[in-house]
Amino acid sequence: MPMTEKELQQRDAQRNLGAELLESVREMKAGRAAKLHKVAIPPVVSARMKSGLPQSSFAKLLGVSVRTLQDWEQGRREPSGAAKTLIAIAEHSPEVLRAVAA
């Protein structure tokens, strides 16, 4: 049942419109800020995803343990030397890595 004009006035008299507007602005800013954040995907993760290989297969092709691959993917360690080159190849030409894995 719709509120009467008197009920609406009583409800509105108890509201703090300034506080409600401020809260709405804060929520909008928080929502907008959340949309502007981008997740940075490490090249090794991107390369593995593009290759379509699971961690175990990808690690084997790179000649490293799954644990080492996980450390690279989570940013705890950085690949070096030949691993970086293989990761770059896998990222730019994933079909090459898939062919080697076959």
Fold of 43-101: 434 Repressor (Amino-terminal Domain) (1.10.260)
Q: Which of 36, 38, 57, 39 is nearest to 47 (CA)?
A: 57
Q: What is the pLDDT of residues 30-74, one digit of tens each?
A: 776 555 667 788 999 999 999 888 999 999 988 999 999 999 999
- Judged by DSSP in three states, 52 sits in coil
Q: Cα(29)–Cα(27) distance, rounded to whole angstroms?
A: 5
Global pTM value: 0.61
- Where are the chain's structural domains? 5-36, 43-101
Task: Please give the radius of gyration of the chain, using alpha carbons only, rounded to the nearest integer.
Answer: 27
pLDDT surpassing 90 at residue 24: no
